[in-house]
Chains A and B, each alone.
Chain A
Amino acid sequence: MKSLKKNKKLTGFLLLLPLTIWLVAFALYPILYGLRLSFFNARINNIDNPNFIGFQNYVKLFSNSEFASSLLWSLKFALIATFIQMLLGILIAWLFQRDFPGKGLATTLILLPMVVAPFLMGTMFRLLFNESVGPIAYLLSGLTGTTALLGMAWVNQTIIGADTINRMPFVFINMYSAMQGVPQELLEAATMDGANAVQKLVHITIPTISSIFGITFLEKLLQSFLIFELISAMTAGGPGTFTQSVSIFIYRRAFQRSDYGMACAASFSLALILLVPSLYLVRRNTKGDK
């Protein structure tokens, strides 16, 4: 009996082995390699033989005003974009609780921007918002008074708009699926008692979906904070460093200035900052499996 139990343990272990090897080789090893490198002065010309400089990269990083302002930009962006996208996603999901002709096709068309790669979405908008040839910039110029939507005055709003088009459908579909789980009888009973649509939303729908709401919110917040591909394609962080998110800052450090040591220090600090909310999210997510 005991050997059978031991056997089972071994089988369970062997089944996990391939994935574990992959994770160790391509996730754990690179992370440790990067952590080590963050204590070295490692540039393109001495990458084979970098010199150890202790915590100097970290000291330089946290006294670098560009890093601080990129963190601030990302934080602001994450809060504003997440707020807008959660609000719109919930409202549209709520709208979709009603039946109307063509609902299936409408759902597909709302989800369409979600499967477009953020980088392609960015490249697309770089063209469509172009100051001289962009058709959408032209259409919007009635509202904004200028077609320079990627200039300083409008670029932040433009990026938030583009990101909303790209990512809000994710919130919509999460919230829509969640609302499907709201007990229909309860809503009907409330209608009988004379509750209006807003009362039903506040007192029945929102409490039922609050758990999924929380998870979606936090995941959206983390994702927005790390925004990279969309900005990389639309403005590459410009004009100047005006839309430099923290991911763009790190990317520039590593692949334009080839200051790998400092870029590793920055990405490692970022990972540490995000570790607590991420762990919380993982715990909430895996709880349901037990």
Chain B
Amino acid sequence: MTRKQKKTLGTVLTVIAVVIIIVILDMGVLTNFLTAFKAPFDISSSPPKWIFKPTLDNFRNVLGKGSFDFRLYLWNSFVIAVISSFIAIILTIPAAYSIVRFHGFGDVILGSTMLLRLAPALAFAIPVFLIFNNMKLLDTRIAIIFMHTLFITPTSLLLFIGYIQDLPKEIEEAASIDGANTFQILTQVLIPVLLPGIGSTAILGFITSWNEYLFSGILSFKKAVTATVGTSFFITSYAVEWGNMAAAITLSTIPTALFIFIAQKSLVKGMTAGAVKG
């Protein structure tokens, strides 16, 4: 075999291996997607059908005015995710700026947020449930926003520290000589140059909040239910509405799946921020 043939063979084998890996990894998402378009008798047929007449009935049921208001759950998820990542950004940009340029007790805060990321969530969930119960804040979006913001801050802080470290100190110094105070430097100098970074941090925060289950689950039961939590409502004590559930899961997966297709680079950067850095 020549060197070139060997190389071609290697590439072919690699592609085959990669295809097998992808089929295994995405089998679940794909099969669930197909199930969402199946009529009830197609779902219960054995052996399972891979070719069938697709129907939109499940999506109509889920999005229509059925027993649960899944449209409201999707809206809740959206509102909570947007506001939580927004607040997290507002909290962490000045903190990151302080840690990079001012030092002081910033390291303690950085350490605590990172510890927070690793701590068992249930250690917070039980007291938080009781505290919000006391404050009559159960089943409100604001209670969920408080907690989601908290869990977005560690990654957000880490990312902004990285972005600010990469900025040349001279821009701020020039602004400072021109008489700008710290607040002005922050809003008029720093935030404009950080915009791309803010974009990817916001996407990551959105996904964190959208996918969160424990706090959304215990803090809501009717009005503030999120889409991720709401999918489980299709399992009742009488029956499991498989088709509707598959449609609900598909709808709840679309926003986050979309991001991995359109913003993969910034997502990867954020998700590996904890482990991969200088």
Contacts and interface: CB of A to CB of B under 8 A. Distances in A.
Interface of A: 8-9, 11-13, 15-16, 18-20, 22-23, 25-27, 29-31, 33-34, 37, 47, 92, 95-96, 98-102, 106-121, 123-125, 127-128, 130, 132-136, 138-139, 162, 165, 168-170, 173-174, 177-178, 212, 215-216, 219, 222, 226, 228-229, 232-233, 247, 250-251, 254-255, 260, 263-264, 267-268, 270-271, 274, 278-279, 281-282, 285-286, 288-289
Most buried by B among A25, A123, A281: A123
Given A16-B106, A260-B130, A113 B275 contact: no
Given A16-B105, A107-B264, A254-B129, 12 more contacts: A12-B103, A16-B98, A16-B106, A27-B150, A29-B131, A100-B15, A113-B28, A127-B35, A138-B47, A177-B272, A270-B123, A278-B119
Contacts of B256: 115-117
A125 B231 CA distance: 13
B94 A233 contact: no
Given A226-B121, A268-B123, A271-B123, A278 B31 contact: no
Interface in B85-108: 90-92, 94-95, 97-99, 101-107
B29 to A, nearest CB: 6
Contact of B105 (A13, A98, A254, A264): A13
Nearest to A137: B48
B182 interface: yes
Nearest to B92: A19
A175 B228 CA distance: 29
B267 interface: yes
B28 A219 contact: no
Contacts of B261: 108
Contacts of A115: 207, 211, 256-257, 259-260, 267
A22 B150 contact: yes
B33 to A, nearest CB: 10
A19 to B, nearest CB: 4
Contacts of A250: 120, 122, 126
Interface in B208-251: 210-214, 218, 228-229, 231-232, 240, 242, 245-246, 249
Contacts of B28: 113, 121, 124-125, 128, 136, 162, 165
Nearest to B165: A289
B137 to A, nearest CB: 12
Contact of B29 (A12, A112, A133, A229): A112
Contacts of A121: 28
B250 to A, nearest CB: 9
Contacts of A92: 21
B131 A33 contact: yes
Given A169-B25, A219-B118, A267-B123, A15 B43 contact: no
A100 B260 CA distance: 21
Nearest to A266: B122
A121 B267 CA distance: 19
Interface string B36-59: 000000011011101000000000
Contacts of B188: none
A34 B127 contact: yes
B199 interface: no
B201 interface: no
A120 B231 contact: yes
Residue among B27, B102, B105, B275 facing the most chain A CB atoms (10 A cut-off): B275
A29 B153 CA distance: 17
Contacts of A33: 127, 130-131
Contacts of B272: 173-174, 177
Given A113-B29, A264-B127, A281-B118, A289 B210 contact: no
Contacts of A132: 44, 46
Contacts of B94: 15-16, 18-19
B118 A108 contact: no
Contact of A113 (B26, B97, B259, B267): B26
A212 B210 CA distance: 28
B91 A119 contact: no
B127 A31 contact: yes
Nearest to A247: B122
